[in-house]
């Protein structure tokens, strides 16, 4: 990976970096486990490498050795080597045998994970990259087989015999001889990460001006379209408003449940707006709010759970969440659906995120054409925006801009009732859900109001 400026000029001593990546460090064998390619072939395969047949194999071993050296700073390696040299000279003056362990002979076995390192490096060359325009996979993709190997080790006869754990405060540690837990393997992975770098393609947030224009445009188009298309537009608009106000990731949006949504829709409609809603200690249980109901299997939880969140009916930027939710209920009733997924089809099946992404991209491209100041012409809408992460990141950015305490943000994004359970799985009767949601309005209402 070249380090370049925006005009493509190489900088940050690129030639020196290439030299470091592709060459070893003198004296590294004194502090990092090292064996040559021939020795490793004997350790792994019981034979020396065959010229012309094992060239790629040997290349992977050499790269793993170099990455292990790259996992430590050159100055650290050289300092260890210099200290060992000095100690040997001092021992010669004393006529003493140095206490430093000999460098060999090494066992004829793979005790540090070289075999898996070779497989990971070869995987990095042959796997198909996920990121558009990239020719190689990212480090995070390369390291995934490591988890598979560790699981296979733990379930093997060797792993079962050594699966003893002991606790240290709130954590557990396992004593294991699994090669992936060896220090050499960790250095190799660190060196590979430094060499490969990162090229992320995360979905980006949208400015609140774009969100406002997006919802306004959806409203306008829904009025002009025939009723079947209009209903789909309303659903997408409601999904956008909900995702922003509740700080939901893509899959969580589609967990909104219709029957409980209809049951609670009247609650909070006649609320009274406090004069200073963001002031600490202000009572918010009677503020105008709308109840969002989610039903599903959420990350970090066991089994299916109901979640009710009390969110501001209208946000500080003008997102009319209650209007969108009531419209959503109306169009679902027109389709004959009174229960099941709130974002779904006439037959009761849940909608797919890619279906909503297509409509979202259509409206964002319309905004891009009508006002490049909102969305730049060079912005890749298909790649950068979607229900998966865009609206969650939008909400988080707005919360930070409003100086909301990090504890409030974490509680909102990690489902506050799980945090309050202090490690236990909370169990609620259905009649308790609404009162619990009201208790949490100091978190959920404020977070949604700043959007």
User: Where is pLDDT greater, at 258 or 162?
Assistant: 258
Indicate the SS3 state at residue 160.
helix
The answer on 182 and 111 residing in a single domain is yes
Give me the number of domains the chain comprises.
2
User: Where is pLDDT greater, at 56 or 126?
Assistant: 56
The answer on 216 and 192 residing in a single domain is no
pLDDT in tens, 6-45: 566 666 566 777 888 899 999 999 899 999 999 999 999 9
The answer on 273 and 188 residing in a single domain is no
The answer on 192 and 226 residing in a single domain is no
Element (DSSP H or E) covering residue 311: strand 305-312
**Band (234; pLDDT cuts 50, 70, 90):** very high
> Is residue 224 domain-resident?
yes
Nearest to 400 by CA among 330, 339, 447: 447
The answer on 276 and 192 residing in a single domain is no
- Residue 233 phi/psi, 5° resolution? -65, -40
State the Cα–Cα distance between residues 365 and 101, nearest whole angstrom.
66
The answer on 244 and 169 residing in a single domain is no
The answer on 262 and 182 residing in a single domain is no
User: Residue 140: which domain range?
Assistant: 16-99+106-196
Structure tokens at 302: 């066991």
**Band (238; pLDDT cuts 50, 70, 90):** very high
Indicate the SS3 state at residue 93.
helix
State the Cα–Cα distance between residues 366 and 360, nearest whole angstrom.
10
Mean pLDDT of the chain: 83
Q: Which of the residue ranges 14-23, 44-53, 150-159, 178-187 has the most confident prediction, judged by mean pLDDT?
A: 44-53
**Band (436; pLDDT cuts 50, 70, 90):** low
Nearest to 428 by CA among 275, 262, 307: 307
> Is residue 395 domain-resident?
yes
Q: What is the CATH number of the domain that holds 428?
A: 1.10.443
Structure tokens at 209: 């001006």
**Band (310; pLDDT cuts 50, 70, 90):** confident
- Burial of 65 (C-beta count, 10 Å sphere; 0-12/13-18/19+): buried
State the Cα–Cα distance between residues 440 and 417, nearest whole angstrom.
9
The answer on 316 and 428 residing in a single domain is yes
Q: Report how far Cα 318 is from the mean position of its chain's Cα atoms.
A: 30
> Is residue 203 domain-resident?
no
> Is residue 329 domain-resident?
yes
CB 249 within 8 A of CB 415: no
The answer on 352 and 265 residing in a single domain is yes
The answer on 405 and 361 residing in a single domain is yes
The answer on 219 and 192 residing in a single domain is no
Query: Within 13 A of 346's CA, how many CA atoms are on the CB side?
Result: 7
Range scoring the smallest mean pLDDT among 4-8, 77-81, 182-186, 263-267? 4-8
User: Where is pLDDT greater, at 255 or 53?
Assistant: 53
> Is residue 367 domain-resident?
yes
The answer on 278 and 179 residing in a single domain is no
Whether the predicted pLDDT of 214 surpasses 80:
yes
CB 401 within 8 A of CB 317: no
**Band (430; pLDDT cuts 50, 70, 90):** very low
The predicted model scores a pTM of: 0.66
State the Cα–Cα distance between residues 218 and 405, nearest whole angstrom.
33
Q: Determine what percent of the chain is predicted with pLDDT higher than 90.
A: 37
Nearest to 245 by CA among 292, 202, 203: 292
pLDDT in tens, 125-140: 888 877 666 677 788 7
Whether the predicted pLDDT of 301 surpasses 60:
no
- The owner of tokens 């039903």 is 295
DSSP classification of residue 181: G
Can you give the pLDDT at residue 232? 93
């Amino acid at each position: 990976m070249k380090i370049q400026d925006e005009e493509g000029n190489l900088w940050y001593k690129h030639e020196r970096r290439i030299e470091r990546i592709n060459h070893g460090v003198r004296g590294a064998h004194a502090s990092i486990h090292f064996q040559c390619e021939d020795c490793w072939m004997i350790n792994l395969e019981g034979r020396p490498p065959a010229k012309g047949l094992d060239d790629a194999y040997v290349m992977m071993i050499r790269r793993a050795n170099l990455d292990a050296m790259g996992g430590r700073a050159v100055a650290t390696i050289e300092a260890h080597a210099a200290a060992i040299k000095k100690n040997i000279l001092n021992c010669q003056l004393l006529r003493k045998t140095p206490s430093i362990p000999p460098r060999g002979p090494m066992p004829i076995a793979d005790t540090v994970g070289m075999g898996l390192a070779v497989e990971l490096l070869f995987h990095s060359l042959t796997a198909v990259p996920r990121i558009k325009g990239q020719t190689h996979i990212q480090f995070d993709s390369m390291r995934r087989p490591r988890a598979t190997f560790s699981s296979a080790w733990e379930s093997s006869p060797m792993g079962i015999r050594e699966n003893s754990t002991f606790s240290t405060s709130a954590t557990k540690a396992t004593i294991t001889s699994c090669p992936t837990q060896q220090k050499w393997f960790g250095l190799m992975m660190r060196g590979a990460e430094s060499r490969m770098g990162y090229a992320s393609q995360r979905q980006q947030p949208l400015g609140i001006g774009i969100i406002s224009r997006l919802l306004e445009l959806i409203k306008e188009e829904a009025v002009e379209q025939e009723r079947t298309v209009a209903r789909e537009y309303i659903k997408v608009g409601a999904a956008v408003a909900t995702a922003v106000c509740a700080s939901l990731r893509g899959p969580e949006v589609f967990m909104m449940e219709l029957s409980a949504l209809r049951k609670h829709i009247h609650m909070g409609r006649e609320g009274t707006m406090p004069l200073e809603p963001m002031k600490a200690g202000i009572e918010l249980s009677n503020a105008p709010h709308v109840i969002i109901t989610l039903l599903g299997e959420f990350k970090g939880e066991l089994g299916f759970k109901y979640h009710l969140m009390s969110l501001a009916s209208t946000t500080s930027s003008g997102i009319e969440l209650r209007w969108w939710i009531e419209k959503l209920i109306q169009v679902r009733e027109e389709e004959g659906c009174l229960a099941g997924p709130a974002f779904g089809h006439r037959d009761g099946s849940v909608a797919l995120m890619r279906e909503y992404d297509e409509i979202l991209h259509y409206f964002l491209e319309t905004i891009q054409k009508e006002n490049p100041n909102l969305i730049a012409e060079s912005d890749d809408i298909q790649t950068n925006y979607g229900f998966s992460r865009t609206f969650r990141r939008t909400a988080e950015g707005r919360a930070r801009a409003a100086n909301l305490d990090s504890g409030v943000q974490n509680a909102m994004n990690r489902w506050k009732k799980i945090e309050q359970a202090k490690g236990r799985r909370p169990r609620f009767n259905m009649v308790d859900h609404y009162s619990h949601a009201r208790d949490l309005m100091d978190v959920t209402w404020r977070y949604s109001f700043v959007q």
